Amino acid sequence: MSVGRGVDILIVGAGLAGIATAYYLSRKHRRRSILLVDARPPMSFTSAQSGDNYRNWWPHPTMTAFTNHSIELMQAIASETSNVIEMTRRGYLLATRLEVVDNLVESLHTGYGDSPADAIRLHQGASSASSYIPPDSDGWVTAPSGVDVLCGRRLISRWFPALSEQVVNLVHVRRAGDISGYQLGRFMLEVFRDAGGSRLMASVRAVEANGGYRVDVEGNSGAEVIEADVLVNAAGPFTAEIAAMLGIALPVENIYQQKILFEDVLDAVPRDLPFSIDLDPVRLGWTEEERTLLSEDPDTVWLIGQLSGGAHCRPDGGSTSRWVKLGWAFNRNVSTPLQEPANDPGVLTEFPEIVMRAVSNLVPALRPYAGRMPSRFSHYGGYYTSTPENWPLIGPLGVDGAFIVGALSGFGTMSACAAGALCADWIAGAELPGYARQLSPARYDYEAFVAELAAAPSKGVL
């Protein structure tokens, strides 16, 4: 084993969270001796499976503030780079067939904190039509903030005719949209590299705390020892494994979730449709023959019952593209993360058909695809690494000089900038935002607070 090198800061994990931490350490805090270590090329594991969406809609004001800051940071990068990150702001549509949505509106008030009355606008009847501002794909700078609640079929069908006629209430979250996570990571990596940062493709085999950190790694060129003053655990699904090398147990679990990307040859999904989510429980439209076959197999019988809401879709690739993304995070089975996620037990080969049928209940023009998937489509997935309350872990890890930026379950792309900036501020000893301690492992010192979060009816999982 070679003696290797010494660095000030070693970041384990070159996903978006690790890259963002390196970026803000380099750019904001002028740190130069930083090494990113990952066995894979940057952003090629969990980050590559992202839906590339962002939103500031959360059931708790802390997460709203956190993602608001991340959106501000992404907007700054978009402005600086002539929008190389392809940021749009059509918003999120939350659709329901329920006539009474008091609970949903109440949750909006909770999530938007001190000034919900200023953030939430109610539109009812024809007289409200002129007060509603429709989404603009390119208006990520000038788009309104807050939330518009559209009540009634006439109003919904005027602005979003592609949605099911059964949808009678629609929540339009305005500070939301999509970006290119790959372009965001690529930009931050270039800045990091130009500032003197370096990368190493290698696997971490052992970590020892000895006043600093001695890290044993192994790459194509063999085994090596790296000495570092500061260690950052940004290992995504493997954060618990890295923490365990320091004798630290993290309250995280991994769940494999899936998506599909397909060529919409029928033009079923309008290119200007915002990211659209069906909030209601759903029964999939199986034929009697299909129901009989599914009911005879204990592994598939669950598919004929009522399933949880949350199936979603959005156009992908801009106005000239014909590609559409569908997703549905209904899996609740915890996995041990694998180096090859395609072998995870949570992989459902039937997922494309399942999610297509579910989203067809929201966008009826997709129904012809049920049972006849387009010839060009991709079925993929990745791990949601989460805490019980579905909040991230960012900050001191509990051992001097060790930090974590992780548990970004399903919101890694949208929160990477704020997560990386916050971790960098912790490392640099800079002034911290008001939510910093709540998002750090130190929140577990307050059992009542964590129990309250874990008991919340909604944790913002999509």
Q: Residues 287, 291, 292, 297: what is their CA dihedral angle, to the nearest 10 degrees?
A: 150
CATH label of the domain that carries residue 204: 3.50.50.60
Question: Within 13 A of 241's CA, how many CA atoms are on the CB side?
Answer: 16
Q: How far apart are CA 50 and CA 43, in angstroms?
A: 10
pLDDT above 70 coverage of the chain, percent = 96
Q: How far apart are CA 444 and CA 459, in angstroms?
A: 17
Q: How far apart are CA 244 and CA 246, in angstroms?
A: 5
Q: Do 267 and 144 share a structural domain?
A: yes
pLDDT level of residue 266 (50, 70, 90 thresholds): very high
Rounded to whole angstroms, the maximal C-alpha distance in the chain is 75
**What b/e sequence results for 269-283 when a residue is b if at least 16 CB atoms lie within 10 Å of its CB, and e otherwise?**
bebebbbbbbbbebe
> Of 212, 215, 202, 211, which is closest to residue 242 (Cα–Cα)?
215
Q: Is residue 83 part of a domain?
A: no
Q: Is residue 443 part of a domain?
A: yes
CATH label of the domain that carries residue 374: 3.30.9.10
Q: Which of 343, 363, 386 is the last residue of a domain?
A: 386
Q: Is residue 70 part of a domain?
A: no
Q: What is the pTM of this model?
A: 0.95
Q: Which of 339, 363, 386 is the last residue of a domain?
A: 386
Q: Do 226 and 159 share a structural domain?
A: no
Q: Which residue has the higher pLDDT, 352 or 116?
A: 352
The DSSP 8-state label assigned to residue 301 in this structure reads G
For 142, other C-beta atoms within 10 Å of its C-beta total: 9
- Residues 398, 385: contact at Cβ < 8 Å? no
Task: Note the pLDDT of residue 139.
Answer: 66
Q: Do 329 and 299 share a structural domain?
A: yes
How many domains are there within the chain?
Answer: 2
- Which of 128-137, 373-382, 434-443 has the weakest average pLDDT? 128-137
- Residues 214, 207: contact at Cβ < 8 Å? yes
The encoded tokens of residue 131 equal: 């007060």
The DSSP 8-state label assigned to residue 274 in this structure reads P
pLDDT tens profile 8-57: 999 999 999 999 999 999 999 999 999 999 999 999 999 999 999 999 99
- Residues 22, 192: contact at Cβ < 8 Å? yes
Strands 34-38 and 2-12: parallel
Look at the block and give the residue holding tokens 């690494």. Answer: 385
Map residue 54 onto helix, strand or coil. strand
Output the 3-class SS for 315-345: EECCCCCCEEEEECCCCCCEECCCCCHHHCC
pLDDT tens profile 48-103: 999 999 999 999 999 999 999 999 999 999 999 999 999 999 999 999 999 988 88
* Domain assignment of residue 16, given as a range: 2-52+181-252+387-454
Q: Is residue 129 part of a domain?
A: yes
- Residues 71, 179: contact at Cβ < 8 Å? no
Task: Note the pLDDT of residue 125.
Answer: 72
Q: Do 185 and 115 share a structural domain?
A: no
The encoded tokens of residue 102 equal: 């008091």
- How many angstroms separate the Cα of 255 from the Cα of each of 75, 346, 399? 30, 8, 27
Q: Do 206 and 338 share a structural domain?
A: no
Q: How far apart are CA 17 and CA 415, in angstroms?
A: 8
Q: Is residue 427 part of a domain?
A: yes
Q: Is residue 461 part of a domain?
A: no
Q: Helix-strand-coil percent breakdown of the chain, rounded to 5?
A: 30, 25, 40
Q: Do 248 and 258 share a structural domain?
A: no
Q: Which of 339, 358, 386 is the last residue of a domain?
A: 386
Q: Is residue 20 part of a domain?
A: yes
Map residue 201 onto helix, strand or coil. strand
Q: Is residue 60 part of a domain?
A: no
Q: Do 434 and 350 share a structural domain?
A: no
User: 212 φ, ψ to 5°?
Assistant: -130, -140
What residues contact residue 110 under an 8 Å CB cut-off, 6+ apart? 59, 60, 61, 116
Q: Do 305 and 268 share a structural domain?
A: yes
pLDDT tens profile 189-246: 999 999 999 999 999 999 999 899 999 999 988 999 999 999 999 999 999 999 999 9
Q: How far apart are CA 392 and CA 343, in angstroms?
A: 26
Task: Note the pLDDT of residue 3.
Answer: 58
Q: Do 286 and 375 share a structural domain?
A: yes
Q: How far apart are CA 87 and CA 79, in angstroms?
A: 10
Q: Do 209 and 141 share a structural domain?
A: no
Q: How far apart are CA 437 and CA 450, in angstroms?
A: 12
What residues contact residue 168 under an 8 Å CB cut-off, 6+ apart? 96, 97, 98, 99, 151, 152, 153, 156
Q: Do 106 and 15 share a structural domain?
A: no
What residues contact residue 450 under an 8 Å CB cut-off, 6+ apart? 388, 389, 443, 444
Q: Do 348 and 265 share a structural domain?
A: yes
Q: How far apart are CA 389 and CA 337, in angstroms?
A: 20
- DSSP character string of 276-297: EEE-S-B-----HHHHHHHHTS
